């Protein structure tokens, strides 16, 4: 799927000490066309030209890197579980050849890709940093150069041993990040976990006590299942609304093609006082479908049964997503359902923190 490889800086440096940049598309590489912004190629040389605008000291501090560009560039709104699988496979194939990775990705689903990669690259022992931009690389006032600069700097830090997102001067855990603004340059947030690092002046400061590096043991134990098993709508995302009815919920969950569902409940885990809703959930769970719940609130977590309005959810087989983001919870369901695990194992692993997602 990847095409030309482009190298920059210090050819005498062994490849194992270089960063691999994987360009998938997104706003950062787009150019204005008659119909609007569209993906554009030749990203490696454009990135090189942009980085040349840094100060001499900043350029000298850059790690050596190579760039590969996917033959088919996408707007990230077109990403699917197979996109996540392709990226994980590409990193796995090149893992020992590079000291770190930067993935350049559109912002719309960047946090979804980051969360999925974290589960697939379980036990990761080097940095994988995703970034993009809200404005194209050559646009006036673009945030692209700053984001590329920071992503490269953190990808060269061996203490960072997980999938992270660098954006607007902040390094965020991949499984804790959401896109919370559609236009602002500071488009991403980590509502329930502190920053892994940040830019302070010209320094890129990593906070190791917040990272997974201190917890990793042994060699990477990647899990790279076949995501074709969850690429055709087998998992649904259902956000409650006032007036939701059992027949509506049942329309989704009774479909034999559905293997799992993420429910987004109110507050600490509440749903309407309607026994028929619980009956639909209990029936689906009893059929072996993996059902999990999180809060619609961006901050805080759910506590199933803390209020009478949420009583019975646990008995109906609903798994608590604690303080997980929708991206982390959904991609975790996908990752577990793509593997040949028993329902009990799937349920237990969902409730177990795997990569700092809960």
Q: How far apart are CA 93 and CA 155, in angstroms?
A: 18
Q: How far apart are CA 163 and CA 69, in angstroms?
A: 20
Task: Determine if residue 257 is left, alpha or beta; phi over 0 gives left, psi from -120 to 50 gives alpha, anything else beta.
Answer: alpha
Token output for 212: 């997974």
Q: Is 80 labeled as catalytic in the residue annotation?
A: no
Tell me the helix, strand and coil percentages in the chain, rounded to 5.
35, 25, 45
In sequence order, the β-bridge partners of residue 86 are: none
Q: How far apart are CA 334 and CA 230, in angstroms?
A: 6
Q: Tell me the CA distances in angstroms from 312 to 249, 254, 297, one per residue in order.
A: 16, 20, 21
Q: How far apart are the first and last CA of the chain?
A: 33
Name the 3-class secondary structure at 293.
strand
Torsional sign, CA 55, 56, 58, 63: positive
Name the 3-class secondary structure at 283.
helix
Helices (H) and strands (E) in the chain, counts: 9, 17
> ∠ at Cα 320 (117, 223), nearest 5°?
25
> ∠ at Cα 245 (243, 248), nearest 5°?
125
Alpha-helical regions (H) of the chain: 43-51, 56-60, 81-94, 110-120, 144-155, 246-253, 275-286, 326-337, 343-351
Residues 161 and 213 sit within 8 Å (Cβ to Cβ): yes
Token output for 277: 């809703």
Of the candidates 27, 107, 131, 331, the residue annotated as catalytic is 27
Q: Which are the catalytic amino acids?
A: 27
């Amino acid at each position: 799927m990847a095409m030309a490889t482009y190298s920059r800086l210090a050819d005498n440096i062994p490849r194992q000490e270089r960063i691999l940049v994987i360009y998938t598309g997104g706003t950062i590489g787009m150019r204005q066309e008659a119909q609007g912004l569209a993906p554009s190629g030749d990203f490696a040389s454009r990135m090189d030209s942009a980085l040349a605008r840094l100060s001499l000291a900043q350029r000298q501090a850059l790690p050596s890197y190579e760039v590969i560009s996917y033959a088919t560039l996408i707007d990230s709104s077109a990403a699917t579980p197979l996109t996540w699988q392709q990226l994980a496979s590409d990193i796995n194939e090149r893992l020992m050849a590079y000291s770190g990775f930067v993935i350049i990705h559109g912002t719309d689903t960047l946090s979804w890709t980051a969360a999925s990669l974290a589960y697939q690259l379980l036990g990761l022992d080097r940095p994988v940093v995703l970034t993009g931009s809200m404005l194209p690389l050559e646009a006036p006032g673009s945030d692209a150069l700053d984001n590329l600069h920071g992503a490269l700097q953190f990808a060269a830090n061996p203490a960072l041993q997980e999938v992270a997102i660098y954006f607007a001067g902040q390094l965020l855990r991949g499984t804790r990040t959401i896109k919370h603004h559609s236009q602002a340059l500071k488009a991403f947030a980590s509502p329930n976990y502190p920053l892994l690092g940040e830019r302070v002046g010209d320094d890129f400061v990593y906070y190791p006590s917040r990272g997974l590096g201190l917890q990793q043991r042994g060699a990477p134990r990647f899990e790279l299942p076949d995501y074709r098993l969850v690429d055709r709508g087998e998992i649904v995302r259902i956000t409650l609304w006032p007036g939701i009815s059992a027949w509506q919920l049942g329309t989704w969950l009774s479909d034999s093609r559905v293997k799992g569902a993420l429910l987004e409940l109110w507050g600490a885990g509440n749903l309407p006082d309607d026994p028929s809703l619980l009956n639909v959930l209990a029936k689906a769970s009893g059929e072996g479908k993996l059902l999990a719940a999180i809060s619609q609130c961006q901050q805080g977590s759910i506590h199933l049964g803390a209020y009478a309005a949420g009583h019975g959810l646990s008995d109906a087989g609903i798994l608590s997503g604690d303080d997980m983001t929708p991206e982390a919870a959904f991609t975790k369901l996908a990752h577990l359902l793509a593997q040949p695990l028993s329902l009990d194992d799937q349920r237990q692993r969902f409730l177990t923190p795997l990569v700092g997602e809960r």
